[in-house]
Chains A and B, each alone.
Chain A
Amino acid sequence: MTAPAFVPYLLHTLFPPNTHRPTEIGADVMMGLGMGYLVYWLTRHRKWGWLWRDWLTTVDHKKIGTMYLIAAILMLFRGGVDALMMRVNLAMPHAPFIGPEEYNEVFTTHGVIMIFFMAMPFIFALFNAVIPLMIGARDVAFPRLNAVSFWLFAFAAALFNLAFVVGGAPNVGWTAYPPLTELHFNPGVGTNYLLVSLLISGIGTTITGINFLVTVLRMRAPGMTLMRMPMFAWAALNTSVLILFAFPPLTVALLMTLLDRLAHTAFFTLSHGGMPMMYVNLFWLFGHPEVYIVALPAYGVFSEVVPTFSGKRLFGYTSMVVSMAAIMVLSYGVWAHHFFTMGAGAAVNAFFGISTMLIAIPTGVKIFNWIFTMWGGRIRFTTAMLYVMGFIPTFTIGGATGMFLATVPADYQVHNSYFLVAHFHNVLIGGTVFGLLAGMYYWWPKMFGYRLDERQGKLAFWLFLIGFWITFGPQYLLGFKGMPRRMWTYPAGHGWHLLNVISTAGAFVMGAGFLVLVYNVLWSMRHGERDASGDPWNGRTLEWSLPSPAPEYNFARIPTVSSLDAWWAMKQTGQGRGRGAAALRLRPQDIHAIELPRNTGYPFFLGAAFFVLGFGLVFSWWVIALLGLAGVWAALAYAWFDHDQHKHMRADEIRRIEASMGRLPA
Chain B
Amino acid sequence: MEIKKISKNIYEIPKEGGMKVPGRIYAGEGLMQNIEKDKTLEQVKNVAHLPGILKYSIALSDAHQGYGFSIGGVAAFDMDKGIISPGGVGYDINCSIRLLKTNLTKKDILGNQKKIAEALYRKIPSGVGRGSKFQITRKELSKLLEQGAKYMVEKGFGEKQDYLHAEEEGCMKQADASKVSERAIKRGIGQVGTLGAGNHFVEVQYVDEIFDKEIAKIFGLEKNQITIMVHCGSRGLGHQVASDYIKKMEDEYGFKNLPDRELINAPIKSKLGKDYFSAMAAAANFAFANKQLITHWIREEMKYLFPKIKIDVVYDVCHNIAKFEEHVVDGKKKIVCVHRKGATRSFGAGRKEVPEMYRKVGQPVIVPGSMGTASYVLVGTNKAEELTWGSTVHGAGRIKSRGAALKTLKGEEVKKNLSKMGIEVKSGSWKSLAQEAPEVYKDVDEVIKVVGELGISKKVARLKPLCVVKG
Does chain A bind chain B? no
* Chain B contact residues, CB within 8 Å of chain A: none
